[in-house]
Amino acid sequence: MMTSTMDALVWLGPRRMELRREPAPTPEPGEVLVAVEAVGICGSELSGYLGQNSLRKPPLIMGHEAAGRIAFDSDAALSDGSPARAGVRVTFNPLLTCGACDRCRAGKSNLCRNRQLISAHRPGAFATYVAVPADLCIPLPDHVSLTLGSLTEPLACSVRAVAHTGTPERLAILGAGPIGLLCLVAARAAGIEHILMSDVSDRRLAVARAWGATVTINARHNVLNAVQAFAPGGVDAVIDAVGLTVTRDQAVRAVTPGGRVVFIGLHEEESMLPANYIVRQEITVTGSFTYSDADFARALALLAEGRVSLDGDWLEERPLAAGPAAFEELLAGATRAAKIVLRVA
């Protein structure tokens, strides 16, 4: 039985987050209430927690990488047209788009001029319940666990980033955090065989090697020298899954003339880049933001195929109440795991 209040992690300002009793959301017409069971902590939420993300304003319930169960029967239909019945296991696309602007009409709904994100513009899933448009809820296959299902959203981001590289012969991924590792999964699934990965954590690099990275380099050493040894003259494409000025600069300088650089990391709002070098080498630089419906479907298909394993210690599950401590530990680099998923139920 649903109650009028719920447990929620509420972000109150830089480095201030508390578990509170909050009013449970009331779904609008066309929405369903999802009883959250697993919700991941995203890197963009770490910057939001620090007060460095322009989309997030306190007080706010964050959390958009989630899976759970429909809380009660609804007349609304889910993404596949099936009825929204209590107990149906779902993940959801947290990006709300208008469907009417020029970007939506052009088939680029991820760039919708009126887009909203659950966990930024409206309350998210670090809570017992979250209200979601029914047509953004995707039923999970029976063999896909709720924890695995919560990885659909970050994997969809990674699927899109890899698509932007143009399926190169030689790829470098800077950062072996959750997005970098999932980019590795997407790249391998796309048939890219020669992949270099860098990170400051040897533990994360060990995961990258286990998942199929050809070469790994600790970023405390000279990444560009490692790239030259891996691919003399530069790699064909680079994904920066960190988003710092230093990694953005490395990405530009690691790619071969005429190559492609994809920025997906969001840690720093602004960075100085060697513009003349980019011009003279005809380097294509593109951002990668969220995903299309096809990217989301592809991500769930990869999870259903078993492309991502929960074995090992790359992912750790903790109770919702441990969320504030988890944020601090992730920022301090004090966790064994690259990814933390909070269990709500």
- CA-to-CA distance for 85 and 170, rounded, in angstroms? 46
Residue 120: C-alpha distances to residues 34, 159, 164, 171, 252 (Å): 17, 22, 25, 32, 30
Mean pLDDT estimate for the chain:
95
User: How large is the C-alpha radius of gyration of the chain?
Assistant: 20
Asked if residues 209 and 185 have their Cβ atoms less than 8 Å apart, the reply is no
pLDDT of residue 297: 96
- CA-to-CA distance for 212 and 206, rounded, in angstroms? 10
Residue among 231, 35, 259 at smallest CA distance from 129: 35
Angle ∠(288,289,291) on CA atoms, nearest 5:
105
Residue among 121, 120, 98, 93 at smallest CA distance from 109: 98
pLDDT of residue 2: 59
Between the two ends of the chain, the Cα-to-Cα distance in Å is 14
With respect to CATH, is domain 5-151+308-343 assigned 3.90.180.10?
yes
CATH 3.40.50.720 domain residues, the chain: 158-287
Residue 208: C-alpha distances to residues 161, 246, 338 (Å): 17, 21, 11
Positions of the chain with pLDDT lower than 50, given as ranges: 1
Phi, psi of 290 (to 5 degrees): 50, -125
Which residues, other chains included, contact 275 with Cβ-Cβ below 8 Å and sequence gap of 6+? none
HSE-CB at 206 with a 13 A cutoff on CA atoms is 9
Residue length of the chain: 345
Tokens of 167: 């399926």
Asked if residues 164 and 260 have their Cβ atoms less than 8 Å apart, the reply is yes
Residue 52: C-alpha distances to residues 41, 136, 325 (Å): 16, 28, 19
Asked if residues 96 and 182 have their Cβ atoms less than 8 Å apart, the reply is no
CATH 3.90.180.10 domain residues, the chain: 5-151+308-343
Assign a CATH topology to domain 158-287: Rossmann fold (3.40.50)
